[in-house]
Structures are given as structure tokens and as C-alpha cells.
């Protein structure tokens, strides 16, 4: 189901299948936490297909999503990537986000890759994604402080502040 583009909505662009699985579970976690009034907000989230690599996320964002974000000022995006233990990856992606969109685009991901997070903590993507969504909603950051996720702290805080009134209220 696609989001209503004229209401606040969030698109998640995952790098690969593992990130898509995490994103789907994150959204499921958000939807499960909504009150009956807020359940309709769950339709304002959409996980997009995965382009297959962080570089392709950058390409697809530039070729497709910048123009649509300019057309739809209530659109927010999360670029969900593997950092592959590369400190410069966030900066590289942020350079490809136009200044006028920086407050609506967030870059997050596992420091290495989701498979290592999953095996390292021994939980399924369903448990991980649901827990991360609950922590955003509840302003609690236990799993977000995990060794493979803690590098996201600034982006998660920006995301939480920007999206909480729209999606987590």
C-alpha cells in the first residue's frame, strides 16, 4: 500500500533484503504500537524496493526521490544502509542530500551489516525492528545503543524529534 502523498508520510529506502526486512519489522512495530486513532497513520509508511547496495541507494535517491520530495513537502525519507564499518559513509550520503531536504532525510543503518547484528544479539529481524520502533516511540534507547547501532545516535535523535509529532504521537 502506498502512502497518501498529501499527508505527512515516510518512505524507507533499504539497501538490500536484510535492511528491507528490518524496515518492514520497524514499521510493523510502529503500527502495533498505535492507538485505534493512530492506526490509520500506519498507512503513512512505505518500505520501497531495495536497489542493491548503498551506492545504488544514493543513485536512486538522486534520480527519483529528490524531485518527488520537492513536489511533496510532507514526505520524509529514511535511507537504510549498511555502513560496512566505513566512517565516511554517512558524510558521503549526506553530501548527496540537497540542503532544502536535509531536515526530512535521515541516513541510518547497522555499522557493519544487519546479518551481524541479528547473529550478534540472537534475535530475529522482527524482534529487532519492533524493538527499535518502540524505542523511538518511547524515547528509550537500549537497542539503539548497541555497538553496531550506536553510531546512529545523532541521526536517530534528529529522526525522533522530526517524526515523533507526526508518526509516534
> Average pLDDT over the chain, rounded to whole?
88
Comparing 133 with 29, which gets the higher pLDDT?
A: 133
Q: What per-residue confidence (pLDDT) applies to 44? A: 82
Mean pLDDT of 117-142: 88
Overall pTM > 0.75: yes
Q: Where residue 32 falls among pLDDT bands split at 50, 70, 90? A: low
Model confidence over 36-55: pLDDT tens digits? 544 556 678 899 999 999 99
Question: Measured between alpha carbons, how far is 8 from 15 in angstroms, rounded to an integer?
Answer: 23
Q: What per-residue confidence (pLDDT) applies to 68? A: 96
List the beta bridge partners of residue 52. none
Q: Where residue 35 falls among pLDDT bands split at 50, 70, 90? A: very low
Residue 81 phi, psi (nearest 5): -130, 165
Model confidence over 7-31: pLDDT tens digits? 889 999 999 999 999 999 888 777 6
Q: What per-residue confidence (pLDDT) applies to 37? A: 47
9: number of Cβ within 10 Å: 21
Question: Measured between alpha carbons, how far is 97 from 104 in angstroms, rounded to an integer?
Answer: 10
Amino acid at each position: 500500500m502506498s502512502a497518501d502523498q498529501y499527508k505527512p508520510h515516510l518512505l524507507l529506502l533499504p539497501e538490500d533484503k536484510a535492511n528491507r526486512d528490518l524496515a518492514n519489522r520497524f514499521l510493523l512495530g510502529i503500527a502495533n504500537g498505535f492507538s485505534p486513532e493512530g492506526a490509520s497513520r500506519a498507512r503513512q509508511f512505505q518500505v520501497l524496493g531495495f536497489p542493491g547496495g548503498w551506492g545504488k541507494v544514493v543513485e536512486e535517491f538522486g534520480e527519483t526521490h529528490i524531485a518527488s520530495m520537492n513536489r511533496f513537502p510532507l514526505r520524509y525519507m529514511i535511507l537504510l544502509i549498511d555502513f560496512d564499518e566505513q566512517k565516511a559513509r554517512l558524510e558521503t550520503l549526506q553530501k548527496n542530500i540537497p540542503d532544502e531536504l536535509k531536515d526530512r532525510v535521515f541516513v541510518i543503518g547497522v555499522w557493519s551489516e544487519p546479518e551481524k547484528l541479528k547473529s550478534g544479539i540472537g534475535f530475529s529481524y522482527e524482534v529487532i525492528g519492533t524493538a527499535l520502533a518502540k524505542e523511538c516511540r518511547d524515547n528509550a534507547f537500549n537497542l539503539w545503543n548497541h555497538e553496531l547501532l550506536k553510531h546512529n545516535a545523532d541521526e536517530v535523535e534528529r529522526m525522533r524529534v522530526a517524526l515523533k509529532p507526526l508518526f509516534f504521537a
